[in-house]
A = this chain, B = another copy of it.
Amino acid sequence: MRVGVLASVAHRTPPRGYGPWEQVASTIAEGLVARGHDVTLFATADSLTAARLSAVVPAGYEEDPTVEAKVAEYLHDANAFAHADGLDVISNQFDFMPLSYSRLVRTPVVTTVHGFSSPAIVPVYAAFDDVARYVSISDADRHPALTYEATVHHGIDTAAFAVGPGDGGYLLFLGRIHPDKGTHAAIEVARRAGMPLVVAGIVQDARYFAETVEPHLGRDGISYVGPVGPQERERLLGGAAALLHLIGFDEPFGLAVVESLACGTPVVAVERGSMPEILRHGTTGWLVAGVDEAVDAVAALDDLDRAACRQDAVDRFDHDRMVDGYERVLTRVVEEGVRR
């Protein structure tokens, strides 16, 4: 199968740091190459890939100030679609913009909807629903106005995460410091449960941090360690008794949750968004309604088996499973022919 993978040009593919769209594009491209497909990766010229790289933008516009974002976007999309005739299918990981070219080519375009950055985006997806083949990143993230081909959960390289002992005697918050992520709820649960809490992640909402997190630091075992790189992340996850993921929004997918499971660490999560799809209640974590139930859940962590957490991550969220999912949907779209 001749597959074009259209990455974002905000960052290099794979990303050096932040860059979820570029990470997904990289995982798909490398995974499909390993399975013998003929893959062209459309990405920045400094990208690293075993696929054929087709690039007209020298570097990510978030990384190189000489690259003008709008110019880069249009040149990048135009280049990818100029190659459409030589491809059986295009996997679009670059938001809604490439849809605007999709009626002008015979090659089917499978678009992963990574989320709706603003309500104004939904009408664009809806306008192309007749020709687009949408992939959701969780069943929970599906929009009722759109037709989907499949849900493919994000996958991680579980082999890169070692199972930790979970014997640090602390709970962990890992994510952006933002009301959506429930840092305040994690602090309250840890205090009521009588356990230390390690807070790790970037401060996205400075006022929220100052008002809700900072006053608790250094008391009741609450500490903030800032953003953490891969090694420290694995160490913190592996030592934690549980990850507290007490979200205040319908999260489309929770990468930290999956990473926690890969380290053998169970998760206490609010039952919203994609959480019921990711966590197995009573096996790999506890799904709770709010703070009260979360406190009870922490008291019941011994009922969960760390080996089962790890096994579930490997079985369901390894990046090979994600490549399986994309290979399946891309193959089906190619076999079904040019258009629905």
- Residues of chain A touching chain B, judged by Cβ–Cβ distance below 8 Å, are 56, 68, 70-71, 74-75, 77-78, 81-82, 84, 96-97, 99-101, 103-105, 118, 120-121, 123-124, 127-128
A128 proximity list for chain B (CB < 8 A)? 78
Q: Which of B68, B96, B104, B120 contacts A120 (CB 8 A)?
A: B68
- Chain B CB within 10 Å, residue with most, of A74, A75, A127: A74
Stoichiometry, as copies per complex, reads 2
- Would you call B56 and A74 a contact (CB within 8 A)? no
- Would you call B68 and A81 a contact (CB within 8 A)? no
The verdict on A120 contacting B78 (CB below 8 Å), with A56-B127, A104-B101, A104-B105 known, is no
A96 proximity list for chain B (CB < 8 A)? 71, 74
A68 proximity list for chain B (CB < 8 A)? 118, 120
Q: How far apart are the CA atoms of A56 and B128 in the complex, in Å? A: 13
Q: How far apart are the CA atoms of A59 and B215 in the complex, in Å? A: 48
Residue contacts A-B, CB under 8 angstroms, 17 given: A56-B127, A68-B118, A68-B120, A71-B121, A74-B96, A74-B97, A74-B99, A74-B124, A75-B100, A75-B123, A77-B100, A78-B100, A78-B101, A78-B103, A100-B101, A101-B101, A104-B105
Q: Which of B70, B82, B104 contacts A81 (CB 8 A)?
A: B104
Min CB distance A8 to B, Å, is 14
Min CB distance A318 to B, Å, is 35
A127 proximity list for chain B (CB < 8 A)? 56, 75, 78
- Would you call B71 and A124 a contact (CB within 8 A)? yes
Min CB distance A101 to B, Å, is 6
A81 proximity list for chain B (CB < 8 A)? 103-104
A100 proximity list for chain B (CB < 8 A)? 74-75, 77-78, 101
User: Which chain B residue lies CB-closest to A70?
Assistant: B97
Q: Which of B75, B103, B104, B121 contacts A124 (CB 8 A)?
A: B75
Min CB distance A229 to B, Å, is 33
- Chain B CB within 10 Å, residue with most, of A68, A81, A82, A123: A68
Q: How far apart are the CA atoms of A210 and B96 in the complex, in Å? A: 45
A70 proximity list for chain B (CB < 8 A)? 97
Apart from A70-B97, A100-B101, list 14 A-B contacts with CB within 8 A: A68-B118, A68-B120, A71-B96, A74-B96, A74-B97, A74-B99, A74-B100, A75-B123, A77-B100, A78-B128, A81-B103, A82-B104, A101-B101, A104-B104
User: Which chain B residue lies CB-closest to A56?
Assistant: B127
Min CB distance A61 to B, Å, is 10
A105 proximity list for chain B (CB < 8 A)? 104
Min CB distance A329 to B, Å, is 24
- Would you call B103 and A82 a contact (CB within 8 A)? yes
Q: How far apart are the CA atoms of A78 and B75 in the complex, in Å? A: 15
- Would you call A71 and B123 a contact (CB within 8 A)? yes
Q: How far apart are the CA atoms of A256 and B68 in the complex, in Å? A: 32
User: Which chain B residue lies CB-closest to A72?
Assistant: B120
A104 proximity list for chain B (CB < 8 A)? 81-82, 84, 101, 104-105
